[in-house]
Amino acid sequence: MGLFDFVKDIGKKLFSRDADAAETIKKHIEESNPGITGLDVKFDNGVVSLSGEAASPEAMEKAVLIAGNVQGVAEVKIDGLQAPPVSAKVEYYVIKKGDTLSAIAKQFLGNANDYNKIFEANREVIRDPNLIFVGQKIRIPLS
Per-position DSSP letters for 18-83, written without gaps between them: HHHHHHHHHHHHHHH--SEEEEEEEEETTEEEEEEEESSHHHHHHHHHHHHTBTT--EEEEEEEE-
Q: What is the pLDDT of residues 91-143, one digit of tens each?
A: 999 999 999 999 999 999 999 999 999 999 999 999 899 999 999 999 999 87
Residue range(s) occupied by CATH 3.10.350.10 in the chain: 90-141
Does residue 87 have a pLDDT over 90? Answer: no
Out of 7-21, 37-51, 90-104, which region has the weakest mean confidence (pLDDT)?
A: 7-21
Q: Which CATH architecture has domain 18-82?
A: 2-Layer Sandwich (3.30)
Chain region(s) in the chain for CATH 3.30.70.2210? 18-82
Residue % of the chain over a pLDDT of 70: 99
pTM value? 0.90
Q: What is the mean pLDDT of residues 71-79?
A: 95
Residues across the chain: 143
Q: Say whether pLDDT at 42 is over 60.
A: yes
In the predicted structure, residue 52 carries a pLDDT above the cut 90 = yes
**pLDDT value of residue 47:** 97
User: What is the share, in percent, of the chain residues with pLDDT greater than 90?
Assistant: 82
**Per-chain mean pLDDT for the chain:** 93
| Topology classification of domain 90-141 | Membrane-bound Lytic Murein Transglycosylase D; Chain A (3.10.350)
In the predicted model, what is the mean pLDDT of residues 7-13?
90
Lowest mean per-residue pLDDT among 51-55, 73-77, 87-91, 130-134: 87-91
Band (pLDDT 50/70/90 cuts) for residue 2 is low
> What CA–CA distance (Å, rounded) separates 92 from 25?
21
